[in-house]
Structure 1
């Protein structure tokens, strides 16, 4: 510390010393000062120093500062800064250059230690043209001066001692030894002597000390001593693991028989800082000087001091362990500087400009204020960017949040399952990205992607009845001050369980069957098939179905006798019609489920032409029996073929196309099988013509030749499709009525009378040419087997 010896007279402190002139820059031509914009610089007075900050984007990376006084311009080079009370720091995190100038810095005009006037020039280079900006500021202390003040700056130690410090009553033994050396000196001016442990160095005058980097000054009321760190006379020691730099200097002047002496012992903690569990730790010995005790601690960042209790309420920690003060600064402390950095991963680090103030009291009640300015930095810390799946299945879209994105990091690109998507959509996009900001200088992004977006992958696990949507996301994040990108990856899966094929609600109508299906979000996994054909609007129109489809449901009404029906248990009293809808996997086209509905129907007349070559017809034979008789007396061309079932006016016939005297006609595209129902005891049959019959009913079935591979007239018939049937009623004296071709099973119009036709030959005509043998085989799929419940070959 600073000790004023009892030999010092009060008047001696008023002596002012001249310490020489700093380096003066003489410019070869007049310099014109520019006006600096307010938005690129900031000047602020603190307790014991002036702070000037300027934007590096304006100044460039290598700005220069020059102190101006009455003697000229003095460039603040790095060595000169520490010698004269200036500290210049480039804070790249904030893109700033910061200068701190002590109130007692060289070239600062001091008025009674209460008014300090600074004149600083900032020199920048713009387009290879040097520009000078004058920065002037006047400051006054915001708190009274303490009797002793020590400032441990970033690059120097400064001590100031007021002349009101009490004299000590007696000298210590080691100080007596140094006093004898001083008294033996013949120097009549001020001298300084440095001591290191047991080593006592020779005195030197202040001019010599100045050449070694030391500065001494007397103001109106204070003695100021300043030294850079790591001087040869300094001593580095360890106090409980904390490095401490100390310097012991004794300033004296011999004037006759009186010796004026000031003993200076100064120490500063040189702890570089450490990092533990989210806190930057800085340490200093609790008592740097023996015989002192601590009375008060203040701390803060960037020169903004608050008392210890207020600092702890803001999250700081202050603990005393083994006579060492441990100060903890949380990462989230207001006033800290943060920056992101990419090295294979996204990292962050924090920088804090700590100002620590400790008030000490010695045994004589003399107060000493000790101040530290330290720049502390964390190591590279993994950045905590994270992804949260906020998907709600009911919304039928992915909702993904990526959070804790630092303020200096931006989302510049995004890939969804390998497909690049725009972050900021200028046109309509299927996805949406929303930026969310927070008060802790972080932000996040909410990504929304519909499940039906083409980039979303969909997989149906049939065995588990599970539908999965998956989305691999690659966020490209870029640090604003660094071009290297960081890729944050996330894989999101949305799972629907108990996913089964759609089920129709089915109703029997008088005229057909109705199928209704309520739409579900995942019904697209299946396709609706009628037989081998997918259900489309075109198919419905072609077959005569009634189809309506909207966003809520699908309605299909299938009229009776349209394609797709299967008929069973045909009797005069009615029959059953069955219609089947298949659900096929849209990806594999494999049928998974079916909806089958069988309904009872009735019809006065109908005819069925099955794929296995059987004609089944319910016919009104009342005209055939116009001369009396019973329906059971009707017959086909072959009189041995009688009805299977009759009532008063109708008869049910079922017979193969190759039997019962059926005649065959071949066209270019079709083959037609023709037979007649009559009530006549004798008939003359002549090939291709029917006559001598009074009343008759014609039945016929027509099949496309394209569906027939081989034709068997005696053994077997197969067709790819059902035939088209027709029932014709003849009237006496009229030709055969050939209009009214029906579908595979239809009721006919009212009976008509036609002229008698010739009796057909005993065997059907050949349809592959007159000289070809009888057809033996017809090939058709068995899908529509309309007569499977009838006994085959009954009328053969």
Structure 2
């Protein structure tokens, strides 16, 4: 059988195909600007293919907005098939298409379309050729000859009276005689159809018997259309749809083949494509994987990003009855999954060694587009401009998704930086970046917000000074890091400040770049050891403390070797250590070994030429306490008018004990001095004065 379709189409037509049992035309929605309207035109007039008219006359229109298409399927038995089919648009062009059925017709064929049921049976009705008003045949719906025929509907639940074909047409039924086949078509849900269950599957059935008395012969044709009404269900990644295995009498197992979008899949390819077909309790169940090729996916914003899948199932079911007559069922079913959660995949790929945040946003559906990115509250439109230091790379994948990779330098000003301190000397610099992606579901402008926070931890240590020994003291230098403000620097328990430095005689320079501190010898904070005539070791320490807890985290300590001709040290425990050069006060040839303090037993600890070393408690060797200053005078014995004066000065407020029970305690070291002078009074004396 050949079917001629003369079409008027626009340039928006993308497909024009002959299929097994129907003609298909696909139109680009973008080219038409709106949903196109279809009309059937023949010599009797123009017929708009509305929703009702389509179901009655064998047309189905599917709007595939996800693909930007509208698809028209026309049964080879549809009304006006051999005449003209026009798609009504502002401009259209003539196109002729002749379709030949690629498959031979079975004695009975049933089509279960999305909006109607159609059954055609082989006809061997007697015809009176040559008659223009052939009342013995089933003519077209609009032929007056149909008045001879009547139809009665069989319904197990009620007795229905017969009606003539004109009345049936008004009720929405079509009876036709095309070539050698009788065709019956009905929309779903007609009053004369009924619903039942077959092996647990809902089925809609319409059973029509057309009859006509021709002379002494009554011609009766039994027409039954039965279609599974299963809407499908979603289970474990599959869309499941079922149909009874024996909707029509069958001698054995029915043969099933199926596919998507009007294409049947070869049996060998079913498993390869991930489809499932199972028979259970006389029911055929089809399983379509949610990501099957040929399915359509749509994103949706509902309590997060969701998705649903649409499948246009196409199935052929063949059975043979006891008379070895073949029945073929053709199913067109649109199956839609429920809303499924579609979480985006976010992975932190930050490379701390390279100093870069790297965040991968994956599993972004193809119909979802990233429009802007907010970084710690500051928004940037996508694509990024060349003026910023951030990059955003998009990669499209073969699974109809795409991904974005965002890179932000760790030390960029937009990144929040915090330091986490521990009880030991370790610490970590935390770089924080809060990201808010704004995505739009296309088509449309429905936004979806996806947030993600990343933290990069970089091990940091408390600061350490560069230290240099000088002839007169020790110099400390610190080049500030961005986080060094988090610590306090102290000398002992006292915080290092410009005021403290001035009080102790330090030289201090402090700005945003560096800290410089010069600590002269014999100022507060030094510790001395290995004191001798050849020199001594001086040690100075700067402590680094936790600003919150005051715990000591680390310290910078420097010990230097100093060598001075003369020096004096006044300790906190009341000891004076002094090295003096006696060359100016010794008579020529006199040895310093005879030199002593007022107490004859207070002699030098060591002698080197004219230099001597004394070390003694302040309350010994004839010392006395006088107002303001501890002062010790010592000279030669026997008495001589030449002598040197040494003195230690302590703030009175720092003293805890003053020689009580022969014990001296001070918070701070004293400040000593060696004073050479000539005394005219004979003899010698030692005195100690307290400075109030």
Q: Normalising by the residue count of structure 2, what TM-score does the alignment of the two structures yield? A: 0.75
Aligned to 1:567: 528
Distance of 1:141 and 1:678 partners within structure 2: 138
Cα distance, 1:590–1:762 mapped onto 2, change above 3 Å = same
2:86 is equivalent to residue 119 of structure 1: yes
Separation in structure 2 between the aligned mates of residue 644 and residue 624 of structure 1, nearest angstrom: 19
Of 505-514 and 397-406, deviating more is 505-514
What does residue 195 of structure 2 align with? 236
User: Relative to structure 1, is the Cα distance of residues 711 and 210 closer, same or farther in structure 2, using a 3 angstrom cutoff?
Assistant: closer
For 2:98 and 2:253, the matched residues in 1 are separated by 29
Counterpart of 1:108 in structure 2 is 81
Contact 1:414 1:473 in 2 (8 A): no
Q: Is the 8 A contact 1:701 1:725 kept in 2?
A: yes
Number of the residue aligned with 1:150: 110
Stretches of structure 2 lacking an aligned partner (at least 5 in a row): 2-6, 127-144
Aligned pairs for 1:395-474 within 5 A: 400-412=359-371, 419-420=377-378, 422=380, 424=382, 425-426=384-385, 434-446=393-405, 454-455=415-416, 458-462=419-423, 469=430, 473=434
* Corresponding residue number in structure 2 for 1:75: 48
State the superposition RMSD in angstroms: 5.5
Q: What's 1:9 paired with?
A: none
On the 8 A contact 1:472/1:489 being kept in 2, the answer is no
Q: C-alpha displacement at 1:242, in angstroms?
A: 0.9
Provide the secondary structure at the position in 2 that maps to 1:79: helix
For 2:274 and 2:263, locate their aligned partners in 1 and report how far apart those are by CA, in whole Å.
15
2:206 counterpart of 1:247 = yes
The answer for the alignment partner of 2:135 in structure 1 is none
CA distance in structure 1 between the partners assigned to 2:35 and 2:53 by the alignment:
17
Deviates more, 1:149-158 or 1:96-105: 96-105
- Identify the residue that residue 184 of structure 2 maps to in structure 1: 225
Q: CA deviation at 1:323?
A: 0.9
**2:593 matched to 1:620?**
no
1:296 matched to which residue of 2?
255
1:381: how far off? 1.7
Aligned residue for 1:439, secondary structure, equals coil
Cα pair 1:46 1:303 within 8 Å, conserved: no
How far residue 642 of structure 1 moved from its aligned partner, in angstroms, is 5.7
Q: Which moved more, 1:203-212 or 1:63-72?
A: 63-72
CA shift for structure 1 position 559? 9.7
Q: Which moved more, 1:295-304 or 1:517-526?
A: 517-526
Q: Structure 1 residue 648 and structure 2 residue 609: aligned?
A: yes
Q: Evaluate the alpha carbon distance shift between residue 143 and residue 712 of structure 1 in structure 2; reply closer, same or farther with a 3 A threshold.
A: closer
Does the alignment pair 1:632 with 2:593? yes
Q: Structure 1 residues 476 and 615 mapped into 2: Cα distance closer, same or farther (>3 Å)? A: same
More strand by share: 2
CA separation in 2, counterparts of 1:402 and 1:219?
Answer: 59
Matched ranges for 1:394-793 at <5 A: 400-412=359-371, 419-420=377-378, 422=380, 424=382, 425-426=384-385, 434-446=393-405, 454-455=415-416, 458-462=419-423, 469=430, 473=434, 475-481=436-442, 485-488=447-450, 531=492, 532=494, 564-594=525-555, 596=557, 603-608=564-569, 616-634=577-595, 643-654=604-615, 682=639, 693=642, 756=678, 776-777=691-692
CA deviation digits over 1:216-255, x for unaligned, max 9?
A: 2333343332111122222222101111122222334433
CA distance in 2, matches of 1:315, 1:383: 21
Are the structure 2 counterparts of residues 463 and 624 from structure 1 closer, same or farther at C-alpha, using a change threshold of 3 Å?
A: closer
Matched, 1:323 2:295: no
User: How has the CA–CA distance of structure 1 residues 711 and 266 changed in structure 2, closer, same or farther, with 3 Å as cutoff?
Assistant: closer
Offset of residue 511 of structure 1 = 10
**Offset of 1:409 from its aligned partner?**
3.0
Q: What runs of 5+ residues in structure 1 fail to find an aligned partner?
A: 1-12, 14-32, 111-116, 123-130, 167-185, 684-691, 731-735, 737-755, 766-773, 778-796
How far has the Cα of 1:286 moved from its partner? 0.9
Aligned counterparts of 1:443 and 1:188: Cα–Cα separation in 2: 62
Contact 1:314 1:333 in 2 (8 A): yes
Deviations 1:386-414 (A, max 9, x none): 44455677667665544433333345566
Aligned residue in 1 for 2:164? 205
Report the CA distance shift for 1:187/1:624 in structure 2 as closer, same or farther (over 3 A). closer
Q: Is the 8 A contact 1:568 1:575 kept in 2?
A: yes
C-alpha contact 1:285 1:323 (8 A) present in aligned 2: yes
Say whether the 8 Å CA contact 1:391–1:398 is kept in structure 2: yes
Counterpart Cα distance in 1 of 2:147 and 2:450: 74
Q: Secondary structure at the match of 2:416?
A: coil
Q: Residue 309 in 1 paired to residue 281 in 2? A: no
8 Å CA contact retained: 2:9, 2:87:
no
Q: Is 1:419–1:455's contact at 8 Å kept on the other side of the alignment?
A: no
Describe how 1:177-188 pairs up with structure 2 within 5 A: none
2:192 is paired with a residue whose SS is: coil
Moved more, 245-254 or 514-523: 514-523
- SS of residue in 2 equivalent to 1:309: helix
Deviation at 1:650, TM superposition (A): 1.0
Whole-Å separation in 1 of the counterparts to 2:190 and 2:617: 123
- SS class of match (1:81): helix
Deviation at 1:156, TM superposition (A): 0.7
Q: Distance in 1 between matches of 2:551 and 2:408?
A: 30
Partner-residue secondary structure (3-state), 2:269: helix
* Alignment partner of 1:336 is 2:291: no
Distance in 2, Cα, partners of 1:301 & 1:317: 13
TM-score normalised by length of structure 1:
0.66
For residues 574-619 of structure 1, give each alpha carbon's deviation from its aligned partner in whole angstroms, at most 9, with x where no partner exists: 4333333423225544323446566766555434466789764322
Q: Deviations over 1:154-204 (max 9, x none)?
A: 1111233445899xxxxxxxxxxxxxxxxxxx9983333332248664443
1:373 is aligned, of 332, 335, 356, to 332
Q: 2-side partners of 1:644 and 1:582: how far apart? A: 35
Going from structure 1 to structure 2, the CA distance change for 1:726 and 1:763 (only over 3 Å counts) comes to closer
Aligned equivalents of 2:671 and 2:105: distance in 1? 118
Which residue does the alignment assign to 2:136? none
Work out whether residues 297 and 308 of structure 1, in 8 Å CA contact, stay in contact via their aligned partners in 2.
no
Instruction: Provide the C-alpha distance between the structure 1 equivalents of 2:277 and 2:536, rounded to a whole number of angstroms.
Output: 97
How big is the shift at 1:266? 1.9
Give the 3-state SS of the residue equivalent to 1:290 in structure 2: coil
Tell me the secondary structure at the aligned position of residue 150 of structure 1: strand
Is contact 1:546–1:557 with CA below 8 Å preserved after alignment?
A: no
Aligned positions of 1:337-376 closer than 5 A: 337-376=296-335
User: How far apart, in 1, do the equivalents of 2:150 and 2:207 lie?
Assistant: 14
Q: Judging changes above 3 Å, is the alpha-carbon distance between structure 1 residues 245 and 430 closer, same or farther for their aligned structure 2 residues?
A: same
SS in structure 2 at match of 1:80? helix
